[in-house]
Each structure stands twice: as C-alpha cells, then as structure tokens.
A = this chain, B = another copy of it.
Amino acid sequence: MDFDNTERTELSQLGEFGLIKHLTQHIELTQQSTIKGVGDDAAVIDNKDLQTVVSTDMLVEGVHFDLTYVPLKHLGYKSIVVNLSDIYAMNAQPAQVVVSFALSSRFSLEAVEELYAGMLMACKKYNVDLVGGDTTSSLSGLVISITAIGSAKKEDLVFRDGAKESNLLCVSGDLGGAYMGLQILEREKAVFKDNPKLQPDLEGKDYILERQLKPEARKDIIELLKGLEIKPTSMIDVSDGLSSEILHLCTQSNVGVELYEEKIPIDPLTYDTAREFNLDPTMCTLSGGEDYELLFTIDIGDYNKIKNLPDFSIIGHITNTAKGLNMVSKSGSVHELKAQGWNALLKR
C-alpha cells in the first residue's frame, strides 16, 4: 500500500530541462494529426486548413510569484500573457485559453474575482476567448495552469529548429528589465519585513516594475514582421533568459552562434538599477528571464528590411555548430554561453 522509493535520484540533480528531457524521451507520437509534440514553444496539430497551436504553463505561488507584492489582478493578466507569448513565438495567433486554478480557503471570493478580472483583461486586450477551465481547492498556495490555443497557416509556422548558418540573430524590445523589477520588489519586501511602517521606495522604477508585474506579449512584433514580409527561420520567446533561449534555438537547429554583448538591448533604467544592485547588466539579460520578448533568426537577405527599426536589435549571427556558442564581450574577449536560465527545480 505504501509507495516504496527504493531508488532515489533527486530532481535537483537533473534540473528542469534535464527532467523534461528525461521524461519525454520515450514519448511516441502516433496520431496523424500531431505535427509537433514536446520541445517547441507550443505543440502543433493538423487541421487541414489551419494548424492548431497549443501551449501550456503552470504558475505556483512561492515559486513563480509572491502575493506579498504581486497584485492578483496583475497576476491574472500575466498568467495569460505568458501563455500567449508562446503562441506568438510560433508565429501563430492565439484565439482561446482554458484556465485552471487551485485555491486555498485563505482566498476570498473578492480575491478570486481580482485574479479572474486580470485574466479577462488580458483576454480582451489580445482578443482571445476564455473557453473553459477547472476550479478546485488547494491545501496551501495558489496554483494557476493555463493552456492557450491558436492557429496559423502551415506555411507561416516558425519552429525552434530552423536557424541556419549566416542567419542574423535578432531580439525585440529590451532585456533584463523584468529581472531588475523583481530585484526592486524583493528588496522592498525585505525592507517592509524589517520595518512595516516604511513606505516602499518604488519611485522612478515604473518601467522595470511594469516589465515584471504586467508584461506584454509581442503580438505587435508578429504583425510587424508580417508587414515587412519577413518570416523568421526560427523563433522562441524569452521567458528563461537570453542565454538559455539561444541555447534552445542553437541546439535544436544544430548550429553555433556568435552573440555580441554590446548589441544586447538594455534599457537605461535596467542598466542603472543593475549597477545600483552591484549586478552586471549583461548577466541580467542572459540569465534574468521573464522579458517575454521574441528572439528569432532571419535570413541575411532580410537585413535591409530590419536594420533601422527601433523595435529590433540584431545581436549576433548564426555560425557552424563546430564553432560553438559564444559571446564576444565589449572588451573583445570570447566567452562560452551557458544556460543559466531560471531553473525552478534547482532554485529550491
């Protein structure tokens, strides 16, 4: 009757990506309609005319969010956005979401309404329908699980594995802001704990706080690229930090990369705040995560279409796999890129 754990390998030995790789290695796909299974931003299901794109994410209180400083409405909004971002990263359009949550009795109806209102606000903004879900109780914290469903024409889909040598590596917006926003919130939480009478000092930090608390998915970038008649050769959204996203693209495309540190877009507020915290701003972009920008590769022939657009930065180029994954620092020295993403399983 007891579950006998004779062998025991700690999950922390594998880390999140290792665990996923280990578990999914034996999956066999048998359905004709399954175009793409585990391993990209979303799965793809054949529906003849349009392909259905499906992505799912789970957010756990105490791991992914801290309700001492995250308003529930923002949390609801962000939980939807995070999933839509995965659909856009396939160059697809989300249309529906299903939403499940587990709640402890510590939550009142008013609290759940706030959470739900934030979700519906994001649905409205991104023009998607909330079509189903499950609501249950939990013994401790709040758990949110969302699945987003979208569609795209077969020929429009962009996967992680299409990057080719000499492609340009591009990213939308700027990076590291969400991570620095989190540092600010964590600092003020600590201050508040020590002295509850002190007001939090968030002045002038609006941009990075918003990056953390109310991120947006780059629907506009997908539309912009379409208008420019650019179809990326590969794409991923930046949820775990630039470094691990580049690793995903390059590993799956079987290519190398040369990333230029000086080209990585960092907002001045992110930069200054990193300095204030004695952090290396570049490290914040590489490992910070939660920026939900789009990282993609394009054919070098598309360079002229993109070079002067403020929404994009060309941050490197794709090389032969033998050359490895490298970052050329501002001083000209070359460093190997390592995945240092947010690894929830290693963090605990």
Q: Which of A171-179, A222-230, A314-322, A340-348 contacts B (4 or more CB under 8 A)?
A: A340-348
Known contacts A109-B14, A136-B64: A129-B2 contact under CB 8 Å: no
B-contact bits for A3-17, CB 8 A (1 contact / 0 none): 101111111111010
Question: With an 8 A cutoff between CB atoms, is A36 at the interface?
Answer: yes
Question: With an 8 A cutoff between CB atoms, is A329 at the interface?
Answer: no
Known contacts A63-B136, A134-B58, A149-B54: A31-B200 contact under CB 8 Å: no
In the bound complex, residues from chain B placing their C-beta under 8 Å from that of A1 are 68-69, 188-189, 192, 200
What separation, in Å, do the CA atoms of A10 and B64 have in the docked complex? Answer: 25
In the bound complex, residues from chain B placing their C-beta under 8 Å from that of A26 are 120
Decide: A34 and B131 in contact? CB cutoff 8 A.
Answer: yes
Known contacts A5-B108, A37-B131, A129-B34: A102-B58 contact under CB 8 Å: yes
- What residues make up the interface of A, taking CB atoms closer than 8 Å to B? 1-3, 5-14, 16, 19-20, 22-24, 26-31, 33-34, 36-38, 42-43, 45, 47-50, 52, 54-64, 67-69, 71-72, 95-96, 98, 100-103, 105, 107-114, 116, 120, 124, 127-141, 143, 145, 147, 149, 151, 188-189, 192, 200, 344-345, 347-348
Pairs of residues from A and B, 6 with the lowest C-beta to C-beta distance, nearest first: A145-B145, A43-B131, A9-B109, A47-B47, A58-B100, A43-B132
